[in-house]
A = this chain, B = another copy of it.
Amino acid sequence: MAVHLRPGEALRLWQDVAVTEARAGRPDLSMRQAAILLTIYLEPPPHTIRGLAARLNVSKPVITRALDMMGALKLVSRHRDESDRRNVLVKRTVEGALFVERFGDVIIACAKEPTTP
């Protein structure tokens, strides 16, 4: 299941994807924000602010702010944990799932055929 990737290919792939996303004029996510979004969509729930902060080794306000931003874009949603009302559970949305899926398509397309401008 390991992916075989050589140095030149790895960097070229990253560049192609970054350029494609930049050109598309989509919201310019930082590496941190991407890490948060992908963690929510790729790792099994539940996701809490505390847990995400520990997973990414950043402070809690960083997570709160990122969720504010992504919430405004409807990429994630927040719900109180009714079993322990101190917690906030971060949930996925349809829009977010589409966004992530589309992003995956961009990566695969760039991996398949290097963009030659």
Contact = CB atoms under 8 A, between A and B. Distances in A.
B15 A107 contact: no
Interface string A22-41: 11010011111011001101
A103 to B, nearest CB: 7
Main secondary structure of the interface of A (DSSP, over half): helix
Contacts of A42: 11-12, 15
Interface residues of A, number: 47
Nearest to A117: B55
Interface of A: 1-7, 9-15, 18-19, 21-23, 25, 28-32, 34-35, 38-39, 41-42, 55-58, 100-101, 103-105, 107-108, 111-114, 117
